[in-house]
Amino acid sequence: MKGMLATRRPLGRSAVTVCRIALGCGNFGGIGSAPEFFGQGLSEDQAVELMDAAWERGITHFDTADAYGGGRSEVWIGRWIRSRGVRPQLTTKTYNPMQARADRGLRPERIARQLRMSLERLGVEHVELYLAHEFDPQVPLPESFGAFDQAQAEGTIRAYGVSNFDAPQLAAALAAGEPQAIQNSYSLLARQDSRELLALCAERDVGYLAFSPLAGGWLTGKYRRGEPFPAGSRMTQRPGPYQGFVAGQTFDALDRLQAIASSRDTSMAGLALAWLLADARVTQIVIGPGRPEHLAIAGEALERPLTDKERIAVEGALAAGAGRGTERGTDTEAKR
């Protein structure tokens, strides 16, 4: 599996290449960027165990943000790097406040400050990819991208992009600067980018990175019709982003997907990741497991790729109307 995980793809028009699957670190010391959840999520010991397991399996790209866990995520990744003497590829992001009532946004001076602090927490001189974590209507995009261009010229970032942008916002970004990547939520149950935005990425050679590939755990089969949501799941911690999935048609679609997964002797989660990997428009998938054993689905998806016939069957399972969730801007669910 290590060899398959080491397979790399160009990141849009940049000189950077990335592996197909990255470790999402949004649940390190919090549940994404939401200040009310800072200090929750995984402990540092649990995060270290997860990073060790990911690295051992060949997952060598870690995805974080300055505000994940109020900075804890970057600090813990930095400590892990120093203690293990290895250097993963790194994606980090900025926009959200580092604590309740702190500043946010994409003002050039804030971008420069936040990048400097991220590099300090991570203990590195550069990151491979730096993302604008949200669209900022208060700051003209050319001003924000001027700060990104400056950082790229100085060598502190290798490439830059955006996250949680819709198609018109990405089009505006491409008119204002040179973003090489976009990272959005995308899964079998949240396919809002399938047509317009992914087509724009293909047309303009922008790398597409998919987070929340399992739709907050819905594509693992853990949520069952008529049963309470499992303790500690996203639906008990932060249900808002996924409330639209609580519908009979979603459970019907999940039943059909489970039948397809069982017929090919894989898990539903492995099937969901394999569906994403089969899409040539998707450059990278960001997974956010809670425990080391959850990493097994990455290998399952790579080792059991979908055939064209299976891909058609999977998409047909959703034809009744499920899979129309809109998770735009919900990265706070910690890439899960």
The pLDDT tens digits of the residues spanning 121-133 come to: 999 999 999 999 9
Q: Helices 108-122 & 72-84, crossing angle to 10 degrees?
A: 40
Q: Confidence class of residue 234 from pLDDT cuts 50, 70 and 90? A: confident
Question: What domains can be seen in the chain, in order of their start residue?
Answer: 2-333 (3.20.20.100)
How far apart CA 87 and CA 22 sit, in angstroms, is 14
Average pLDDT over residues 246-270: 95
Cβ-based neighbour number of residue 125 at 10 Å: 8
What is the CB-side half-sphere exposure of residue 145 using CA atoms within 13 A? 18
pLDDT number for residue 103? 97
How far apart CA 309 and CA 313 sit, in angstroms, is 6
Residue 293: closest CA among 19, 25, 34, 56 = 56
Q: Confidence class of residue 2 from pLDDT cuts 50, 70 and 90? A: low
How far apart CA 245 and CA 224 sit, in angstroms, is 12
> Which tokens sit at 5?
């995980």
Specify the amino acid at residue 214. Answer: L
Torsion of CA 46, 47, 50, 54, to 10 degrees: -170
Q: Confidence class of residue 321 from pLDDT cuts 50, 70 and 90? A: low
Decide if 186 is catalytic.
no
Q: Confidence class of residue 242 from pLDDT cuts 50, 70 and 90? A: confident
Reported in sequence order, the residue ranges of 1-85 that DSSP labels E, i.e. its strands, are 8-10, 17-19, 21-24, 61-63
The alpha carbons of the chain give a radius of gyration, in whole angstroms, of: 19
The pLDDT tens digits of the residues spanning 284-299 come to: 999 999 999 999 999 9
Residue 184: closest CA among 215, 212, 203 = 212
The pLDDT tens digits of the residues spanning 171-226 come to: 999 999 999 999 999 999 999 999 999 999 999 999 999 999 999 999 999 999 98
Q: Confidence class of residue 1 from pLDDT cuts 50, 70 and 90? A: low
How far apart CA 46 and CA 28 sit, in angstroms, is 8
Contact 90, 52 (CB under 8 A): no
68, 130, 208, 242: the catalytic one is 68
Cβ-based neighbour number of residue 313 at 10 Å: 17
Cβ-based neighbour number of residue 35 at 10 Å: 17
